Amino acid sequence: MKKLKIFQLTIIVLFIIFIFFFFRPVNYSKEYNVNDVKIVESYNKEKDYYYFTLTHNDVTLDYLYESNYKHERSFIEKIDILEDGENFCIIPSGKTIEFIPLCYDNGEIIYYQQVNSNLKEKIPEKYLETRTELNDTYEDIHIYNRDYTYLLWNYNGFYYINEDNEKEINLFNQELYNITLVAYTSDYLLIADYDNEYTFNKFYRIALKNGNLKEYELDRDIYFDSYFPGYEKNKLYIVDNKEEVMYEFNAKNGKLDKINAKMLNDNEWEKVGIKTLINQNKVFTYQTNYNYSLKDGNLFLNYQDKDILMLIDTDVTDIIRIKDNVIFYLKTDTVYAFEQLKGSIRLLTNFEWNFNYKNMIYID
């Protein structure tokens, strides 16, 4: 009887060990072919993503999909190839992972929404469905989408717009055409007190969730010759160039502390000299698998440290904000949001942004 129990316990332990090793995340890479397309599939367990390169007609396209680990392999089971002369789109499909069309048009890799009309006609409708837009207007701002929170500078305060509300938040006694000391934290937007001239000793705090306004008096003066390198959670970091000092401001309780200079790089803190911050205007970097860049009005996406660029949109005026994997950007007078699986979505239009847009648009 005792031997039987030992045997049963051994089986259970071995089974648990088997399950642990079978399902534990592991880095891997494998090659295979589908419909004459060469595929290299890999998983990065440190950053939780699957990465695919697909080579067709000597052109290599790539695709990154964030996901927890799955014990399957060879996720791509079928590939449809759409062609228009030398231009083409390949559409992978298979188990578990959601794919999008990957396209090559006019000599460059391009997001499928932007391909030429002949090629676009061949893409299945489910990828090109027209999204329903709102037709709201508030203070000459046309609102097409309320999935996000908008804080829009109106020269002495903000218009606050979210899913079901809009209001005006008045801050200053004078009109200001360029405010630079404005910054996000996780839950708030912080604005220095621009009613002062050379220094400020007060922050205005606007809650992103509901637009509620709070004022925090500081226990010292900070020069306007300062900049905000970034934030961590609800702590904002301030570099006073004139006083050569770095501060940490807690947006939750209004506490301001002088600290040793440091930088947040990919979610890791690093010590740095205060002179380096002042001379180089260094800013925090946040860990992401998606890198966006703007070059001569062209907006590109590349994955992690990969060097393959995908053209997202053209005639782009400015990048407004990158949060997680979503980029908010401006084209002439219209704001768009882009993320890989949804493409570009129109959010807002304001004629004023044809002439003045710097430090005027904040989105969360």
pLDDT tens digits, residue range 251-300? Answer: 999 999 999 999 999 889 999 999 999 999 999 999 899 999 999 999 99
Q: What's CA 187's distance to the chain center, in Å?
A: 16
Enumerate residues 6+ apart whose C-beta is below 8 A from 303.
51, 62, 64, 289, 290, 291
**62: β partners:** 53
* Residues of each domain in the chain carrying CATH 2.40.10.480: 180-286
Please tell me the predicted confidence (pLDDT) of residue 18.
45
- Asked if 202 and 221 count as a contact pair (C-beta separation under 8 A), the reply is no
Cα-atom radius of gyration of the chain, to the nearest Å? 25
User: Does 327 have pLDDT greater than 80?
Assistant: yes
Determine the pLDDT at residue 15: 45
| pLDDT for res 245 | 97
pLDDT score at 63? 97
Residues 6+ apart with CB under 8 A from 45: 25, 26, 27, 69
Which residues share a beta bridge with 264?
269
Indicate the CATH number for domain 180-286: 2.40.10.480
- Say how far apart CA 247 and CA 222 lie, in whole Å: 10
- Confidence (pLDDT) at 95: 82
Give the mean pLDDT of 117-121. Answer: 95
Q: Rounded to whole angstroms, how far apart are CA atoms 50 and 33? A: 17
- The number of CA neighbours under 13 Å toward the Cβ of 202 is 12
- pLDDT reading at 14 higher than 70: no
Pairing of strands 108-111, 102-105: antiparallel
In angstroms, the Cα distances linking 286 to 21, 149, 229, 259, 346 are 32, 21, 12, 21, 25
